[in-house]
Amino acid sequence: MKCKVIVNPSSGMKNFQRSAIMAMHKLSSEGVLTGAYLQYTTEKYDAYKIALDIKPGEYDFVMVVGGDGTANEVINGIIKGGSKTPICILPAGTMNDFATYLGLPRDTAGLCRMIKSFNVVPCDVGKVNDDEYFLNVTAGGTLSEVAHKVSIEAKTALGRFAYYLEGAKDFTTYKFKSFPIRVEYDDKKIEEDVFLFIISNSPNVGGFSGLLPKAKINDGLLDVILIKKPDFVDILPLMMQIRMNTHIQHPKVKYFQTKSLTISCMDDSISIPYDYDGELGGKLPFRAEIVPNAINILVPDHKLKNLQRTES
């Protein structure tokens, strides 16, 4: 097998990058790999450009060593380039929600096992405004704002704890802001003041496992959660319910599944940004839809049985 290895050297801890290099050496020495072509990114969109240039059949798989943003660039490049090359993700970022859901290994031995098994499963992705794809999540509101306040240095030094520290500042000062949105889907309309909206492909978002409990990466559906601004006394109980995965019954929470939707702000004087896979996107309004079977992902043996296609 031949592979392209795309490494973002600014993502996460250096030992995860070493795991990838050691795995390539080991698999090459065992004859599993006949060629491993390593390329480092130096600036934003490098990973996208590298993936975009991959030709059909040029590599048996492409390995991504980086965080959610790097993985996002690669899936956009693979889809827009049309190569259909299977993707192997070594999560080296801060949150890595999608990788956590799939149980993707970070160590050399686990990575080697996954590549040798070569379990390739089709995976859905989301599409925003017909030109950008997201692997895991598009979001707007408090969660998105917190993520973009955290510096690269803090993420590298503190990992996901950096996000919790930043979020705690807003919690203690009660800076949660709400905004009026209109959500249209399946001939339905929701008009609410919310402080957070999330559109996800997997259950895991923002370091929370099961935040969107019905989500699957291959069910042909987007999972959507809207959270209205809670009263101060409701914040702690709501957080507890999120931890126990019972939050979708909370009166401040709306949760549904759909193939496509549009979200707009009902107040033209307010500019509401959104992001996808942790990277800044545009501003409301936007349209999102699911793209079934858009990419192929390598998964470990213990996750394979749980990823049978369940077309909706």
**Looking at the DSSP assignment, which residues form a beta bridge with residue 283?**
273
Cα–Cα distance for residue pair 274/132, rounded to 1 Å? 13
The tokens describing 107, both together, are 């160590």
User: Do 108 and 132 meet the contact criterion of CB atoms below 8 Å apart?
Assistant: no
Q: Which residue has the tokens 């000062």?
A: 173
Report how far residue 199's alpha carbon sits from residue 211's, in angstroms, rounded to the nearest whole number. Answer: 11
Q: Which two tokens stand for residue 36?
A: 């491993």
Catalytic residue among 30, 184, 279, 289: 279
Q: How many angstroms separate the CA atoms of 66 and 91, rounded?
A: 6
Q: Verify whether residue 166 is a known catalytic residue.
A: no
Just list the catalytic residues: 279
